[in-house]
Amino acid sequence: TFLYRPQFFADSRCRKTFFGFGSDDVLQKAYQRKCYKKLSMPNQAIFSISDGLGLTAIKNIVKCSRRVGRNELFTMMIQNLKWEKFMLLVCMAKKIYAERIFCLFYKKFINFANCDKKNIQKKMYEKFENVLQSINWQIDPITLYRPIEYALRSGGKRLRPSLVGIACEMFNGDYKNTENAAIAIEIFHNFTLLHDDMMDDSPTRRNMETVHKKWNSNTAILSGDAMLIKSYEFLSKIPQKYWTDVFPLFTKTALQVCEGQRFDMDFETMDDVTIEQYFEMIRLKTAVLLACSLKIGAILADAPQKECDLLYDFGIALGIAFQLKDDYLDTFGDSDMLGKRIGGDILCRKKTFLLLSALTIADEDIQKLIKIIINSKIDTDEEKICQISEIYINLSIPSICEQEIGKYYKKAKYYLKNISLPEKNKENLGNLVEKLQIRQK
């Protein structure tokens, strides 16, 4: 009966060995003969605890299901299993594979992975959300402030303000001291999204129309500018004794985010971008704001300088892993879960880790093909996304990207381990890292 307890799934100690789906021949032939709907999981798919077979077979499942709707074949196969056997397999699987596979291919497991009522990020989210939603934006001119309210109330992970609170409580600080700083960081973050969406001409964010689509570009520019100013207004409400440490950090971070965005835009028209340049770009565009959030939280708890710096380094590694996962999900994620169209980076010709890795690994002919597809004015958007995704899969780019994500999460854990605090104090931040590793949105 313990198999039915959600906390059993959430407990990482219960996943011991890796399992794989096979055999590859069955999957390939099933697709070639267009008889994938007749697959019977118990009879025609072989379960194995072989690492090699598992990884290869999973890759082929993605390949086979590519043209019939991503994940459709896998879901059909899973649905042929009895629930008891399905749960047993999950509990047998090594944590890193079980969470990635099932959170990616079977949405039901998202609920299991997030069922822990003591989830620190959930607590921080709820605390912060109550404060954020209490802000009154019904002021004149309403045409300036209504888009701000719309952007802030459209949801989101609230990761950055949560990090401020987690870092503060980690050093036994008072969460109340962080509220205005957390609001400032969230408003600033959403300001960057308002302008990013307009630059990329993105139609949706979080399953809602973007501000420039719902209103117009001029509104998005002006309301975004107002959000930047409001972020400083809220930051000025923290105790004055912290101003000399917090304001220079926040200002430097804000400018670095703009620098990162400029690099990102410049890279779209450059043919010689290196992977090293890409990592510097995402450090500026994404990682520094996460690091800033953590360091401000620590400063507001009067943490020692050395610990603040270690937490900042932790945030940089976490932010790079976070952006790498964003790159991955933009091509191989679920549009319903992400709340936006899949393949936007491909259509915008963004120099993501996936694209740069493909151009590095591929032979000359494939490199030329990638460039032809990306710059094509004949192919439809869907054709471009499908063709580039297929090249990525053939080059094992998803696997390479996941390895790189894992490397930076490992770095983050290293910095966290070196912070001179009892393990109990660091547990909540460590748990958050585990959650972010399996996120699918």
The rounded distance, in Å, linking the Cα atoms of 337 and 439 is: 10
pLDDT in the model for residue 253: 98
DSSP E strands: which ranges in 120-271?
A: 204-205, 208-209
pLDDT in the model for residue 74: 47
pLDDT in tens, the chain (441 residues): 233 333 333 333 333 322 333 344 444 444 444 443 333 333 333 233 223 334 444 444 444 444 434 444 444 444 444 444 444 444 444 444 454 445 444 443 444 344 443 456 677 788 888 889 899 999 999 999 999 999 998 888 899 999 999 999 999 999 889 999 999 999 999 999 999 999 989 898 888 999 999 999 999 999 999 999 999 999 999 999 999 999 999 999 999 999 999 999 999 899 899 999 999 999 999 999 999 999 999 999 999 999 999 999 999 999 999 999 999 999 998 887 877 778 999 998 999 999 999 999 999 999 999 999 999 988 899 999 999 999 999 999 999 999 999 999 999 999 999 999 999 999 989 988 888 888 887
pLDDT in the model for residue 120: 60
pLDDT in the model for residue 121: 62
Q: How many residues are given for the chain?
A: 441
The rounded distance, in Å, linking the Cα atoms of 409 and 428 is: 15
Contact 158, 128 (CB under 8 A): yes
What distances in angstroms separate CA 232 from CA 224, 247, 335, one per listed residue? 13, 9, 34
Residues 6+ apart with CB under 8 A from 404: 324, 353
pLDDT in the model for residue 47: 33
